[in-house]
Amino acid sequence: MDVKIMREYILEMYPGEGWTRKVAGMNDNQVMAVYYSMKKKGQKPIKKNKKQLTLNDIFGREDLC
């Protein structure tokens, strides 16, 4: 499997800006290790059309955000 595809998979798992920078700075061996670790654990990417919940969604209180 191409390392580029592995990077994309990891970024789908954790789409945050901080994680994106970390993945961009990883060498190919690190990317492969993270990818295979995720696959072994059975982790699946976050659906792009799925809304991520905020604290406001969970608790209904804007003062927590």
- Neighbour tally for 6: CB within 10 Å: 21
What is the reported pLDDT for 47? 58
Domains of the chain, by residue range, sit at: 3-64
Orientation of helix 3-13 relative to helix 28-41, angle to 10°: 60
Q: Mean pLDDT, to the nearest integer, of 17-29?
A: 90
Please say whether the dihedral angle defined by the alpha carbons of residues 41, 15, 9 and 7, taken in this order, is positive or negative: negative
pTM of the shown model? 0.62
Which tens digits make up the pLDDT trace of 25-49? 999 999 999 999 988 988 876 655 4
Enumerate the H helices of the chain as residue ranges: 3-13, 17-25, 28-41, 55-59
